[in-house]
Every structure is written in structure tokens, then in C-alpha cells.
Amino acid sequence: MSRIDIPTLETERLRLLAPDESHLPAWADEFFGDADVARYISKRPLTPLQRAERALRVARATWEARGIGGWVIGDKAGNAFLGAINIEPWDDTEELEIGYGLVPAAWGMGYATEAVQAAVAYAFDVAGVARLSARVVAANTASSKVLVKLGFAVMDERPLENGGTLLIYRLERAAFNIDVLPNTVRPAT
């Protein structure tokens, strides 16, 4: 168990696990190194491995400072790296932002909805987070659908340099009702 004591969350088909160094190769090669995954996530002048290392560092630091942070997503057998969820400070403010992604082989099976729902429920019900925000490129329909299904609403829109639009989503704890969501799976805490 790590010093920070990051909880494992179980859903019907997935496990959200404490990220550690053993996840870095798959996180770098299959996730940040994949052009389809990287298409709509923020561009940083870093190699895929540096991005994975940064994600691990930020996840741990946020758990330590805020009692919430990031997980990697694995299958129930625990052998496959399927993706990651991060909850981290929004541009160094007190606001918390959620981000998520899966390796392409895991797309289109409802995994993102299942995993993000468990993470959001933990953030609100267990960690006592008051509000979560998310930034989504408008063309990323699948990502917007995940958020809207959980009750997130667009609060703002910003133009992107490439001509696209960035949607700013937000969800308050008071507006999150896991009991009315379809296929509810409560996270094991």
C-alpha cells in the first residue's frame, strides 16, 4: 500500500487502481503514444513517457494534498491497462478538473461511463468534493456524452487556436444523484 493510501474502486467490469511505476510503460506506449488517444487531449511539449510520469506525479500529489486524485483503469482480472482517470487542480486553482481516457481497444463498450461514474461518485460521496469541472473539445462527442450522462452541463465555451471550440463542463455535488443513473454501480470504498 502506498503512503497515500489510494483506494481501489470496483465496478461491474472494471477496477480503478492506485497508479504506480509499473503502469508507466503501457501508459506511455498504448495511451499517450497513441495518436487517436492524444487527438483531443491537451498538447504538451513532452514525450509520451514524460506525460505518463507527469500524470503519475500529479495523481499522487493531488491525493496527498486533496484526498482525491487519479486512478488507472484495469480489467477485473487486473492484468490489462485500459486507461486512466485524473482529478487534479485546474490550472493551479482550488477548482478540481476531471479528465479520462482509454486505450482504443477499450473504446465503445461503455467503459468510460462506468469508470468515470465510479470516480465522480467517490469524489462527491467519499472525498467530499463540492464541484468538478471538465474541458472537452467540442468535436469529441464521445467524451461529452460521458459527462452529460452523469449530469455535467456546459457552463462556458472558448475558441481554440485551431478553429475548434473548447467546452467547459461543470457538476456540483448537490446536483449529482447516483441513484437515478442507469446501470448504477456504487464504488466499493
Ligand X SMILES: CC(C)(COP(=O)(O)OP(=O)(O)OC[C@H]1O[C@@H](n2cnc3c(N)ncnc32)[C@H](O)[C@@H]1OP(=O)(O)O)[C@@H](O)C(=O)NCCC(=O)NCCS
Residues that bind ligand X (CB under 6 A): 37, 40-41, 99-102, 107-113, 136, 140-143, 145-146, 149
**Strand, coil or helix: 135:** strand
Provide the minimum distance between the beta carbon of 163 and ligand X in the complex, in angstroms, as a whole number.
18
Comparing CB distances to ligand X, the nearer of 8 and 140 is 140
Comparing CB distances to ligand X, the nearer of 122 and 169 is 169
Provide the minimum distance between the beta carbon of 57 and ligand X in the complex, in angstroms, as a whole number.
19
Residue 53, number of CB atoms within 10 A of its CB: 16
Contact (Cβ atoms closer than 8 angstroms) between residue 71 and residue 119:
yes
Q: Which three cell numbers stand for residue 96?
A: 478540481
Query: Strands across the sheet with 71-75, in order?
Result: 9-10, 14-17, 71-75, 81-89, 96-102, 131-137, 165-172, 153-159
Measured CA to CA, the distance from residue 52 to residue 21 in angstroms comes to 9
Measured CA to CA, the distance from residue 152 to residue 124 in angstroms comes to 13
Provide the minimum distance between the beta carbon of 1 and ligand X in the complex, in angstroms, as a whole number.
28
User: How far, in whole angstroms, is CA 150 from its chain's centroid?
Assistant: 13
Contact (Cβ atoms closer than 8 angstroms) between residue 139 and residue 164:
yes
Comparing CB distances to ligand X, the nearer of 128 and 164 is 164
Provide the minimum distance between the beta carbon of 84 and ligand X in the complex, in angstroms, as a whole number.
9
Provide the minimum distance between the beta carbon of 100 and ligand X in the complex, in angstroms, as a whole number.
5
Comparing CB distances to ligand X, the nearer of 11 and 62 is 11
Measured CA to CA, the distance from residue 167 to residue 60 in angstroms comes to 27
Provide the minimum distance between the beta carbon of 67 and ligand X in the complex, in angstroms, as a whole number.
23
Comparing CB distances to ligand X, the nearer of 111 and 122 is 111
Comparing CB distances to ligand X, the nearer of 67 and 110 is 110
